[in-house]
Every structure is written in C-alpha cells, then in structure tokens.
C-alpha cells in the first residue's frame, strides 16, 4: 500500500517538484573507497525536500486554509504549495529559525502566507500551530507526522532508483522528526529490502534514537538547536513505527563534525549545505563503515544556510577538531607578564585569536580569557605541558562546561 501512495505522490508532484540531481562526489568516494552519490535536495524548490510532503498533503486535502509549524524548510515548502494551489496559509517558526529561512518563506508564499515567529524550539511552534488550527478550523500540515507528508518525502527514494537505474547498497538519511527516513526507508524496505538504511541525528537532538530505546516517542529534556532543521525534541507518533519497522540503523554525529563537513562541502565541492543537509555525509566519514566499491547515496536534504552563521560554523569545526582552545590565565599585574607568557608558553605556530583582559588596580593578579589556535591537534599536549610548567595559574575552559557556554 505504501508503495502505491508514493507512486501517487510522485504523479501529483510532476511538474511541481524538481527531479533533483544525483551526483557522484569524488571527495567522499576517495575517503571511503565506495562510490558515493549525493542526492541534491538542496536544489529542490525551497532548497529542501520539504515541498514534496507539503504539496502532496495539500493537493489531496484541498482545504480552505492551512497552517503549519516549521524550523524553516517545511514552511518554505508549504508556502510554495499554498501559492501554487491558491490556499491561504500561516507558518509558525521558532525564534531560532535563521533569518534567511524566514525571508524565503515570505518570498515563496507572497501574499498567500502569513509568517508568525514565536517560541524557542520547533516543538513550541508546533503547539502554537496546532492551537491555531483548533481555534480557526485551518487544516494542519505537519512537517513530518502525517502519512501524506511521509509519502511525499518517499518520492526521494523512488527518484534515486530511477536515476541510478537500480537500487544502491546503502542509503544515508538525515533525521529530525523522522518524515524523510519514514518515507524513504519504508519505500526501500518494501521494494528493495536488501538496501542498508542508515538514519543520522545530531548528537544534541537525537529524539528518534531516544524513542527507539524507550519503545515509544519521548520528550528530550535538552536540545542543541544548532542543527535547526533536525532539532526536534520528540519523534513523531506516525513516523516512529515506520522508522522502527523499516530496519534502519540510527547513528548520531557531533555538531562540530557537521560543521567540518559543511565547510568541506563548500570549500571542496562548491555545495552550500545547511547543518541538517550535511548530516548524512558527515556521518559517512565519521560514524559509518561501508564496503569498498559499494554504491552509497547520501541525502543532502537542504541548502538554506544563512551566511552570517559561518563564523559559528568555523568556530565549532575548529573546536571539534581540537585546533582551538580557550583558557583562563591569571596574570600578575606587573610589567612584562604578557611577554613572558608569549615567550614561555606559546609554540612557534600557536596563534592567539582572542584576548580579553581587564586590569584591576586593587588586585595583585588579573584574569584574561585567552583563545589559542594551533596548527595540528597533536600540538595540544605540548602546549598544555608548557602551561602546567608555567608559574602562571592557567585553567582550561573545556567545551560543554558551564563556563565554556557562558564565556564563548
């Protein structure tokens, strides 16, 4: 039955959604020994796969008005679908949604869609959208937790096989609420059960893994919202059993590794990926083993990345790779103290990239926050050794600690 629903969704989407490119990636292929393809849903209308599910739902429901919650991409898909179908719509997004995505929602929906920014997380926006649907009678268009949305997302799997001329060995799919994996995974499980399916969640928002471990969807107490397209606090009630039954392996990837992959996609491959879009290929390089000469498809789910975020992307990547470190250093308030630190502690290739210090006349020492960038991860032990041998009192500000989150 699900295979037929995906086929029907593909027919509805003909002439609306693009058949996005499936491209061999030389960098990933050389790194793994496999033949790695990128399914470029960042080149879809709205720069993500979300149009597929939103349009498939709305074209069947034909409501008088519609409302949805979105981290950004689903809102763009629904906005375009509403304008295309002539349906008034309303999109709720949390305050963490990048400005670039908000502007694209408005541009795609034009005068057919109203944008509401409220709440701190996707789940906050979802509650507000559901309340509006209840009070107004508007049709709720879920970002992932509806069979029609899921069937629309499943058309990505159908396209992959059509473009390859057969089934791949491995398909790697980013996971937020689970709509894409539920759709693509269920379709492959029914049509090509030998295909290995892997779902990838950000380490700071692994709601589907939590649901699988608990036996049902659970609410995560804390969520890192950096990978905003996949930062979902609770997996879907509809998506969860489909993900469980399709037999996919679930892995997580640290946000810093996602940032490193975003930079490689941009600098090496010329691909602008948002954090969720880089999840699949980031996991392939760090968390997933594939057989040499196997055919692997990574779903690059979206390319809506605000250029203003790249400073944070670079920062997180450097910290993750062990190339940037922060320290609290207590300097004696006397001439030459900083010079001795530079001469005795820093190596020839170490670079101070942050120095914040306030001189206090009523104390013998003054603390400075010092950020140091090193050339190689292996150089850290020598740097820390020189620091411990210094007469200065020096404390590492470790990533993940309260002090790190407060200071950086």
The residue among 53, 48, 57 whose CA lies nearest residue 20 is: 48
Check if 301 is active-site. Answer: yes
Helices (H), 93-178: 99-109, 122-136, 147-164
200 in Cβ contact with 252 (< 8 Å):
yes
Annotated active-site residue in 50, 186, 281, 317 = 50
| 299 burial via Cβ count (<10 Å: 0-12, 13-18, 19+) | buried
Helices (H), 287-355: 310-320, 337-344
Beta bridge partners of 115: 91
Percentages (nearest 5) of helix, strand, coil residues in the chain: 50, 20, 30
What is residue 166's DSSP assignment?
Answer: S
Check if 50 is active-site. Answer: yes
171 in Cβ contact with 195 (< 8 Å):
yes
208 in Cβ contact with 234 (< 8 Å):
no
Annotated active-site residue in 101, 301, 317, 324 = 301
The residue among 86, 56, 74 whose CA lies nearest residue 126 is: 74
State how far the Cα of 95 lies from the Cα of 117, in Å rounded to an integer. 6
Q: How many helices (H) and strands (E) in the chain?
A: 16, 14
- Residues annotated as catalytic (active site), given as ranges: 50, 301
């Amino acid at each position: 039955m699900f295979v037929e629903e995906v086929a029907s969704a593909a027919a509805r989407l003909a002439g609306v959604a693009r058949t996005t490119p499936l491209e061999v990636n030389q960098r990933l292929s050389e790194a793994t020994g496999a033949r790695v393809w990128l399914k470029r849903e960042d080149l879809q209308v709205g720069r993500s796969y979300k149009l597929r599910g939103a349009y498939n739902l709305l074209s069947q429901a034909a409501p008088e008005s519609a409302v949805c919650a979105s981290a950004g991409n689903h809102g763009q898909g629904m906005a375009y679908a509403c304008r295309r179908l002539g349906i008034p719509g309303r999109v709720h997004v949390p305050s963490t949604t990048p400005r670039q995505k908000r502007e694209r929602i408005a541009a795609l929906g034009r005068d057919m869609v109203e944008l509401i920014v409220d709440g701190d997380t996707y789940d906050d926006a979802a509650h507000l959208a559901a309340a509006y649907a209840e009070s107004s009678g508007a049709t709720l268009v879920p970002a992932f937790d509806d069979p029609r949305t899921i069937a629309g997302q499943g058309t990505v799997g159908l396209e992959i096989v059509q473009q390859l001329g057969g089934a791949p060995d491995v398909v790697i799919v980013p996971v937020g609420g689970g709509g894409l994996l539920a759709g693509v995974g269920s379709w492959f499980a029914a049509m090509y059960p030998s295909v290995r399916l892997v779902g990838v969640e950000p380490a700071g928002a692994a709601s589907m893994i939590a649901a699988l471990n608990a036996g049902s969807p659970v609410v995560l107490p804390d969520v890192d919202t950096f990978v905003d397209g996949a930062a979902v606090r609770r997996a879907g009630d509809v998506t969860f059993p489909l993900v469980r039954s399709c037999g996919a392996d679930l892995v997580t990837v640290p946000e810093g590794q996602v940032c490193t992959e975003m930079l490689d996609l941009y600098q090496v491959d010329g691909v602008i990926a948002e954090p969720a879009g880089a999840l699949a290929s980031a996991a392939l390089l760090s968390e997933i083993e594939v057989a040499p000469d196997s055919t692997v498809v990574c779903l690059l789910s979206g390319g809506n990345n605000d250029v203003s975020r790249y400073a944070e992307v670079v920062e997180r990547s450097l910290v993750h790779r062990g190339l940037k470190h922060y320290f609290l250093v207590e300097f004696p308030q006397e001439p030459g103290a900083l010079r001795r630190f530079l001469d005795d502690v820093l190596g020839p290739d170490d670079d101070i990239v942050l120095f914040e210090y306030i001189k206090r006349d009523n104390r013998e020492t003054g603390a400075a926050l010092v950020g140091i960038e090193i050339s190689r991860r292996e150089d850290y032990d020598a740097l820390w050794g020189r620091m411990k041998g210094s007469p200065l009192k020096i404390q590492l500000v470790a990533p993940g600690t309260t002090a790190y989150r407060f200071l950086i």
